[in-house]
Amino acid sequence: MPERILSNRDLEGIVDTSDEWIMRRSGIKERRISSNKRKEKTGDLAIRASLRALEMAGVSPDKLDMIVVGTVTPDRQFPSVACTVQEALNANNAAAFDISAGCSGFLYALETVNNAIRSGTCGTALVIGAECLSTIVNWEDRGTCVLLADGAGATVVSSATEQGGILSSHLKSDGKLWELLYSSYGSSHLPETLMDMDQKPFFLKMNGNRLFKKAIECLCSISRDALRHNSLSSEEIDLVVPHQANIRIIQAMANNLDIPMDKVYTNLHKYGNTSSASIPIALDEANREGLLSKGDNVLLVSFGAGLTWGASIVRWSI
Ligand code: COA
């Protein structure tokens, strides 16, 4: 996570909002924002997360066959953040590319790597979620700037002979609903006039109300698909690591699935919504807190811009 903390109280001095409103409507208390002074970009956060993941896994960069980054806020249009990470790690044997799937970017990346491993073309990979949403947020729009933040998380995924690992993944999309959450940053559609540029067309735009309802619907249905596919009941899930968008969305999903909140990991009060980085960050914190044991069934579930949504059930095998 970037070191710089932006609290709800700080936001009270930027837009017309209050700590009380943000906490009650979203569950977020503070978030991390990358430092302009240190020119901290998405790639820098991704590199730091990757180094920690490789250290924990005891894997050296030259063993990596693939680096895949889920992001909607790359350092530049191209080359990819994954190539920036590849260079920094000196991962000379790795293919590297980004995946754009909104807040579901991490689960899309994970399933891409899972399939590459299963097909035999990849042995070990880095799967990363990394974002600097603060660079596309309109800091005059109180409906979005209080929710979104920066961060990165990384996982090392490798082939194994033993049973377990990723039991199944389920990914969906509905492009008809793109206008619920989008940014025209890096658009191939140029504004007609410079005037349009002044309208700040590149900032992220969101219909929070409609997205809120759709998110609960998608999270519940995809989680049920994942449970059904693996003949698991909700009681057999040991930990849910959901995309950290809004505590009320997460509570509604848990309630609907009959999963008690003490089995649902949340850290959005500290970090806000970091899009595709939220699941790997939460998974790492849950792991470092000792909440994951060998054999546990872990449900990862997300939704985001696109719309995209997805779920993976992982049998923790380390
Ligand atoms: N501080 C104070 N008031 C705010 C505010 C803020 N930061 N943001 C919006 N408001 C106001 C609105 O202007 C509105 O005022 P009005 O009634 O006078 O028009 C009022 O609060 C209620 O707004 P509403 O949008 O109905 O609130 P809500 O209960 O739906 O909560 C969100 C708003 C954004 C927190 C909620 O819709 C949400 O979380 N949606 C999903 C967003 C999301 O997860 N996006 C990422 C997807 S990956």
Q: For tokens 């009650």, name the residue.
A: 24
User: Which strand (E) or helix (H) includes residue 241?
Assistant: strand 239-242
Confidence band for 308, pLDDT divided at 50, 70 and 90 = very high
For 166-315, which CATH superfamily applies?
Thiolase/Chalcone synthase (3.40.47.10)
N residues, the chain: 318
The Cα 109–Cα 212 span in angstroms is 24
- With a cut of 70, say whether residue 195 has pLDDT above it: no
SS3 at position 297: strand
Q: Using an 8 Å Cβ cutoff, are 23 and 34 in contact?
A: no
95-99 vs 66-70, strand pairing mode: parallel
Closest C-alpha among 151, 149, 153 to residue 127: 153
Q: Tell me, what's the pLDDT at 28?
A: 98
Report whether residue 63 contacts ligand 1, using a CB cutoff of 6 Å: no
Helices (H), the chain: 8-12, 19-26, 42-57, 81-89, 105-119, 142-145, 194-198, 208-229, 247-257, 268-271, 278-288
Q: What percent of the chain has pLDDT over 70?
A: 95
Closest C-alpha among 242, 305, 244, 280 to residue 152: 280
Q: In what order do the strands lie in the sheet with 165-173?
A: 165-173, 308-315, 297-304, 239-242
Per-residue burial over 286-315, b = 16 or more CB atoms within 10 Å of its CB, e = otherwise: bbeeebbeeeebbbbbbbbbbbbbbbbbbb
Q: Which atom of ligand 1 is nearest to the CA of 211?
A: 41
Report whether residue 173 contacts ligand 1, using a CB cutoff of 6 Å: no
Q: How many A from CA of 19 to the centre of ligand 1?
A: 13
- With a cut of 70, say whether residue 192 has pLDDT above it: no
The Cα 259–Cα 33 span in angstroms is 32
Confidence band for 197, pLDDT divided at 50, 70 and 90 = low
Give the residue, by CA position, lying nearest to ligand 1 atom 29.
25
Q: What is the mean pLDDT of residues 203-215?
A: 95
Residues 114, 246, 267, 273: which is the catalytic one? 273
Q: What is the mean pLDDT of residues 75-82?
A: 95
Q: How far is CA 290 from CA 50, 173, 271, 283, in A?
A: 20, 34, 20, 11
Confidence band for 224, pLDDT divided at 50, 70 and 90 = very high
Residues 243, 267, 287, 297: which is the catalytic one? 243
Report whether residue 304 contacts ligand 1, using a CB cutoff of 6 Å: yes
Q: How far is CA 151 from CA 69, 82, 166, 221, 234, in A?
A: 13, 15, 24, 28, 30
Confidence band for 196, pLDDT divided at 50, 70 and 90 = low
Work out the mean pLDDT of the chain and round it to a whole number: 94
Q: What is the mean pLDDT of residues 225-238?
A: 98
Does residue 243 have an active-site annotation? Answer: yes
Fold match between 5-162 and 166-315? yes
Q: In what order do the strands lie in the sheet with 124-132?
A: 95-99, 66-70, 124-132, 150-158
Q: What is the mean pLDDT of residues 80-93?
A: 98
Q: How many A from CA of 168 to the centre of ligand 1?
A: 34
Residues 8, 83, 103, 287: which is the catalytic one? 103
Q: How many A from CA of 34 to the centre of ligand 1?
A: 24
Does residue 267 have an active-site annotation? Answer: no
Q: What percent of the chain has pLDDT over 90?
A: 90
Report residue 227 as tokens.
């449970």
Confidence band for 202, pLDDT divided at 50, 70 and 90 = low
Q: How many A from CA of 77 to the centre of ligand 1?
A: 31
Between 253 and 187, the higher pLDDT residue: 253
Q: For tokens 């956060």, name the residue.
A: 45
Condensed to tens digits (0 to 9), the pLDDT of residues 150-181 reads: 999 999 999 998 888 999 999 999 999 999 99
Domain chopping of the chain, boundaries: 5-162, 166-315
Q: What is the mean pLDDT of residues 11-20?
A: 97
- With a cut of 70, say whether residue 188 has pLDDT above it: no
Q: What is the mean pLDDT of residues 51-57?
A: 97
Q: How many A from CA of 250 to the centre of ligand 1?
A: 16
Q: How many A from CA of 25 to the centre of ligand 1?
A: 7
Q: For tokens 């999903």, name the residue.
A: 253
The fold adopted by the segment(s) 5-162 is Peroxisomal Thiolase; Chain A, domain 1 (3.40.47)
Report whether residue 17 contacts ligand 1, using a CB cutoff of 6 Å: yes
Does residue 103 have an active-site annotation? Answer: yes
Classify residue 195 as exposed, middle or buried by CB count within 10 Å of its CB (0-12, 13-18, 19+).
exposed
Tell me if the bond preceding 79 is cis, omega within 30° of 0: yes
Q: What is the mean pLDDT of residues 88-115?
A: 98
Strands of 26-182, DSSP E: 30-32, 66-70, 95-99, 124-132, 150-158, 165-173, 181-182
Condensed to tens digits (0 to 9), the pLDDT of residues 111-136 reads: 999 999 999 999 999 999 999 999 99
Confidence band for 37, pLDDT divided at 50, 70 and 90 = confident
Ligand 1, residues 11, 24, 25, 71: which to mutate, most atoms within 8 A of Cβ?
25
